Amino acid sequence: MTTMDGLNPRKVASLLFIIGIAVVFTLQFGPGSSGFGATGGATAPGSVASVNGKEIPLRDFAAAWAQQMSFLRSQGSPVPESLARQFGMHNQVLDRLVNTELLAQAAERHGIAASDDELRKLIHQNTDFQKDGQFDFERYQQVLRDFYRKSPQDFEAELRRQLAAQKMMDVVRGNAVVSDDEVRARFEKEGNQAKVVFARFLPAMYADKVPSPTAAQLAEWKKAHEKDIKEYFEANRFVYQQPERIRARQVLVKLPPEATADQKKAALEKAQALRKEIEGGKDFAQVARDSSEDPGSKARGGDLGWVERGSWEPALADAAFALKQGEVTQPVETKFGVHLVKVDEKQAAQDKKLEDVQDEIATTLYKQDRAKQQARAEAEKALASAKAGQDLKTLFPPEKEQPALLRFETETRPEAVETDSFTAEGEAVPHLGPAPELVKAAFAVSAPQPLDSVFPLGEGFVVAQVVERQKPDAEGFDKRKEELRAQARQAKQIELTESFLKALREQGSVVTNTAAIDSVVGTG
């Protein structure tokens, strides 16, 4: 490839981003969603998708994916490609390409096209095509040849379609008209704010304080909760009905799929030598770390966790399951290689019936029920203290500088958590999640005060007090009217964009080629 003076290859990016289409086309239908319903083989082999019969070439997707990764690196976010795929970033890249094509086709149907002057202006403004601050035709041809890998005719045809797509989107967004009533309604929502302090009371916080039931209590509880016990058993049947299993470690000497007799002999001799090291007193886990060729378990000292007989080839399973705890197999050959397996722990098969475990289940449910009752009682006690004038932050100070909930750690006792300001528009409380009844109660009061009741939430209970309350006023509306109008118009433009793109998808045919996409981004 020819090197061009002053041109940084990493800065050469698709004009799709330059003209701002990328912003429009990142609209999604949920995190990581592609918005596509159909996948599979109705596309050409060299395409990642077909949009109403128009193929999106694999090379375009590969280029867009590389640009996305490059952009992340330039922003100081060196995200591995495997992680980017896990978060659905490949779907976002594909969405942009598909949405561009859908809009270009819609523009064509509506007679919307880019003019020669618009195309020329855009190309001439691109600094990648300039020399000494001026458009240079030779440089233009060289960049297209060396970086875009396209002829000027193909590049300009694609750019013209992208411009038409953008113009189609401008038409859609131009229909976003906002009335004065909508602006005021937005102000009423945004200006109506609250901030609360809450504390959670979870059964798990009190479980260790609940004594086991007496025989009489257990008998009474079993009689009153036969249905609950049976449902618990059914939901947890896998715990009570398990095949025989072992907790095992392995050292693997790998063999290629078509191993020769000499290769097999060498692998067997290596495994035998490693077994002698173990017999001589060397720790099995250390041998695995040093010599095992199984990448999945090597770093963990060969630890495979719990293994059931049916998950292994019969020869290996028979050898390992015949051992006692602490013993090591002789070398065993499978299609993967030659194995040495050590049994760390054995667990006999279980086939427990309901009558075998109903006392155990009843005890568990009894204690859970009592812990929940205690959690509610403690929440009621805290509410009474708050209503008497005590502050939740004083009653339940965090153990550390920040509450456990904000450190993403398990709460072992109630701790006061102060939220950011939030509005009545949604049903969620910051740091707490969906809590519609609490939100409703918070906005029913006009000044800081404890909320009147304990709020059941999930398995636990919440007590809260409003610490800040803000209401909209006429003066504030006059100051923010134009700002709010712009925000409302932008929100409506996004809404219209989403609706229009969704309609284009539903009325058309978008088919994706997962295999082609995987060939670029991997299979995760």
Question: Poorest-confidence range of 5-9, 208-212, 227-231, 413-417?
Answer: 5-9
Q: How far apart are CA 57 and CA 63, in angstroms?
A: 10
The three-point CA angle 265-269-273 to 5° equals 170
- Taking 60 as the threshold, does the pLDDT of residue 401 lie above it? yes
**Bridge partners, residue 134, by sequence:** 131
Query: How large a percentage of the chain has pLDDT more than 70?
Result: 88
Q: Long-range pairs for 43-46 at CB < 8 Å and ≥24 separation?
A: 43/511, 43/512, 43/513, 43/516, 45/516, 46/516
Q: What is the pLDDT of residue 382?
A: 97
Q: What is the largest CA-CA distance in the chain?
A: 94
Label the pairing between strands 449-450 and 460-470.
Answer: antiparallel
* Average pLDDT of the residues of the chain: 85
Q: What's CA 37's distance to the chain center, in Å? A: 20
Q: What integer is the mean pLDDT of 415-430?
A: 90
b/e burial code for range 458-487 (CB count within 10 A of at least 16 → b): eebbbbbbbbebeebeeeebeebeeebbeb
pLDDT score of 393 more than 60: yes
Is the pLDDT at 25 greater than 60, yes or no? no
Main-chain phi, psi angles of 212, to 5 degrees: -65, 150
* Rounded Cα–Cα distance for residues 267 and 339 (Å): 10
Architecture of the domain whose range is 9-175+501-521:
Orthogonal Bundle (1.10)
CB atoms closer than 10 angstroms to residue 316: 21
pLDDT tops 60 at residue 35? no
Band (18; pLDDT cuts 50, 70, 90) = very low
> Over 90: is that where the pLDDT of 399 sits?
no
Task: Please tell me the least confidently modeled range out of 188-202, 260-274, 311-325, 466-480.
Answer: 466-480
Tokens of 42: 């109705």
Helix H or strand E encompassing 478: helix 474-507
Question: Quick one: average pLDDT of 438-457?
Answer: 94
Least confident of 74-78, 210-214, 229-233, 511-515: 74-78
Name the band, by pLDDT with cuts 50, 70 and 90, for residue 1: very low
Residue 5 predicted with pLDDT over 50: no
**Which residues are bridge partners to 433 per DSSP?**
429
- Report d(CA 62, CA 68) in Å as an integer: 10
Other residues' Cβ atoms within 10 Å of the Cβ of residue 258: 6
**How many angstroms from the chain centroid is the CA of residue 500?**
27
d(CA 298, CA 317): 20
Mean pLDDT of 499-504: 92
How large is the average pLDDT for residues 168-182?
Answer: 86
More confident residue, 12 or 465: 465
The pLDDT value given to residue 77:
62
Nearest to 99, CA basis, from 517, 518, 500: 500
Q: Are 242 and 309 in contact (CB under 8 A)?
A: no
Parallel/antiparallel/unpaired status of strands 134-135 and 337-347: unpaired
Over residues 474-494, the pLDDT tens digits come to 666 767 777 778 877 888 888
> Sorting pLDDT into bands at 50, 70 and 90, what band is 24?
very low
In terms of pLDDT, which residue wins out, 17 or 479? Answer: 479
Residue 355: alpha-carbon gap to chain centroid:
42
Domain residue ranges in the chain: 9-175+501-521, 193-213+355-470, 244-348
**pTM for the predicted model, two decimal places:** 0.48
The whole-number pLDDT of residue 473 equals 66
Residues 407/478, Cβ–Cβ less than 8 Å: no
C-alpha–C-alpha distance, residues 317 and 341, integer Å: 10
pLDDT at 36 over 70: no
Residue-by-residue DSSP string for 354-419: HHHHHHHHHHHHHHHHHHHHHHHHHHHHHHHHHHTT--HHHHS--SSSS-GGGGT---SS---EEP
Quote the tokens at residue 318: 């028979």
Inform me whether the pLDDT recorded for 515 exceeds 60: yes
Tokens, residue 90: 């490949």
Tens of pLDDT, residue by residue over 448-477, are 999 999 999 988 999 999 999 987 766 667
Q: Mean pLDDT throughout 415-436?
A: 91
For range 351-376, the mean pLDDT? 92
pLDDT band at 350 (very low <50, low <70, confident <90, very high): confident
pLDDT tens by residue, 89-107: 889 999 999 999 999 999 9
Strand partners, 54: 51
Token pair listed for 416:
């006061």
Distance in angstroms (rounded) separating the CA atoms of residues 240 and 263: 45
Confidence of residue 52 (pLDDT cuts 50, 70, 90): very high
Q: How far apart are CA 260 and CA 276, in angstroms?
A: 25
Any idea which of 173-187, 226-240, 420-434, 506-520 has the lowest mean pLDDT? 173-187
Structural tokens at position 2: 């020819």
Give domain 244-348's CATH architecture.
Roll (3.10)
Strands 38-39 and 510-512: parallel
- The DSSP line for 266-289 is HHHHHHHHHHHHHHTT--HHHHHH
Q: Which residues pair with 131 in a beta bridge?
A: 134
Q: Please tell me the predicted confidence (pLDDT) of residue 474.
A: 63
pLDDT at 2 over 50: no
Phi, psi of 289 (to 5 degrees): -65, -40
Look at residue 9 and tell me whether its pLDDT is greater than 70.
no
Closest to 358 (Cα-Cα) out of 213, 244, 218, 242: 218
Copy the structure tokens of residue 424: 């009545």
Q: Answer whether residue 313 shows pLDDT above 80.
A: yes
5 compared with 326, residue with greater pLDDT: 326
d(CA 281, CA 335): 29
Residue environment code for 82-109, b if the CB has 16+ CB neighbours within 10 A, otherwise e: eebbeebbbbbbbbbbbbbbbbbbbbee
Compute the average pLDDT of residues 262-271: 96
How many residues belong to the chain? Answer: 524
If you average pLDDT over residues 145-168, what whole number do you get?
Answer: 90
**Residue for token digits 């029913």?**
444
Q: When comparing pLDDT for 164 and 239, which is higher?
A: 164
**pLDDT tens for residues 59-91?**
889 888 888 888 887 777 666 777 788 888 889
